[in-house]
């Protein structure tokens, strides 16, 4: 009986998630595979998720050392995005992995259950997008590459610092986020709000980050609304 219920739930919810993600050829392939296995999709919201446990960050900073960004960090969390594609409002959510080092940065986008849907690798010279059963695509401009593949962009270059609370504002000045200084507009037009924090032994780290990018052609002035919740920090 439980197996029959799971199968009915899968057939009702899984295609909807595939439709939301809109990763071109990925979806047609995944739709063909849905008959080979059963998945119960549990939608995990970014708010009110009582089952998600926060992992305390490592004490990276001493009490005498001001906050600064580092070159090597690994982050695990969840994302929710609203965006416009061909004039239509679209949205999707899932999990993400962020693995950053001086040599490269790897961003992994996953379904709510952790199935890898796309991977973006950045080096100083090139960005590469890979997805299941799709030929890799590369370009020097990471944001344009991601937009061409997903229909929405992810500001991966800026996020190397933004995730840790470091940004350059619209005047070209350095901005360091704190629980008392939480909002900034970057020089490339992203509005960032550090909505909540996780307590470290000495200095807090961002827990939830809201990013908004406006577009004059959008009816409501918003092109992308991206929310990130960070569940795990590793330095």
Q: Where does residue 20 rank: exposed (0-12), middle (13-18), buried (19+ CB within 10 A)?
A: middle
In the predicted model, residues of the chain with pLDDT beneath 70 are 1-66, 200-202, 215-222
pLDDT of residue 19: 39
pTM over 0.95, yes/no: no
Q: How far apart are CA 169 and CA 175, in angstroms?
A: 6
Q: How far apart are CA 65 and CA 112, in angstroms?
A: 37
Q: How far apart are CA 80 and CA 63, in angstroms?
A: 34
Which uninterrupted H or E stretch holds 196?
strand 190-198
pLDDT of residue 68: 77
Give 97-149 pLDDT, tens digit per residue. 999 999 999 999 999 999 999 999 999 999 999 999 999 999 999 999 999 99
pLDDT of residue 202: 66
pLDDT of residue 84: 85
In the CATH scheme, what is the homologous superfamily, with its name and number, of domain 73-234?
A: Lipoprotein localisation LolA/LolB/LppX (2.50.20.10)
Contacts of 205 (CB under 8 A, 6+ apart): 57, 164, 165, 197, 198, 230, 233
């Amino acid at each position: 009986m439980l197996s029959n219920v799971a199968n009915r739930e899968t057939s009702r919810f899984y295609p909807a998630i595939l439709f939301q993600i809109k990763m071109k050829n990925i979806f047609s392939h995944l739709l063909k595979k849905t008959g080979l296995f059963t998945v119960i999709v549990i939608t995990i919201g970014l708010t009110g998720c009582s089952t998600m446990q926060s992992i305390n960050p490592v004490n990276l900073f001493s009490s005498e050392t001001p906050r600064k960004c580092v070159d090597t960090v690994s982050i695990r969390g969840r994302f929710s995005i609203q965006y416009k594609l061909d004039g239509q409002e679209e949205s999707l959510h899932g999990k993400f992995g962020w693995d950053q080092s001086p040599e490269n940065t790897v961003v992994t986008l996953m379904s709510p259950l952790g199935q890898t849907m796309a991977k973006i690798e950045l080096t100083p010279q090139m960005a590469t997008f890979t997805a299941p059963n799709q030929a890799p695509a590369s370009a020097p401009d990471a944001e344009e590459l991601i937009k061409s593949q997903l229909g929405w962009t992810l500001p991966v270059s800026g996020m190397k610092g933004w995730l840790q609370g470091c940004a350059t504002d619209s005047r070209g000045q350095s901005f360091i986020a704190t629980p008392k200084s939480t909002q900034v507009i970057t020089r490339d037009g992203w509005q960032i709000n550090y909505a909540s924090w996780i307590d470290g032994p000495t200095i807090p780290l961002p827990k939830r980050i809201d990013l908004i990018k406006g577009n004059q052609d959008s009816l409501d002035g918003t092109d992308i609304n991206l929310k990130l919740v960070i569940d795990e920090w590793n330095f």
